[in-house]
Amino acid sequence: MDKLRGKQEAEKGSRANLDRVVGYLQEIMKSDPNFAQEVEKLALEIHAESLCWS
């Protein structure tokens, strides 16, 4: 997270791009439980770190 913080290109993303990625991830996660667990773990780590910075 620190590598991206303060970098305008990394922070500006669009809602449309985010929604597209979410759709892809959801489909892959349905078919690959191991990948789903890895993504969920990563999401929890990112969320926990973001709480430290708020």
pLDDT in tens, 11-52: 677 888 889 999 999 999 999 999 999 999 999 998 888 788
42 in any annotated domain? yes
5 in any annotated domain? no
4 in any annotated domain? no
The reply to whether the predicted model has a pTM over 0.95 is: no
Of 46, 51, 48, 54, the residue nearest 1 (C-alpha): 46
8 in any annotated domain? no
What per-residue confidence (pLDDT) applies to 38? 96
2 in any annotated domain? no
What per-residue confidence (pLDDT) applies to 48? 87
Range of the domain at 43: 13-53
* Structural domains in the chain (count): 1
Are the CB atoms for 9 and 16 separated by under 8 Å?
no
6 in any annotated domain? no
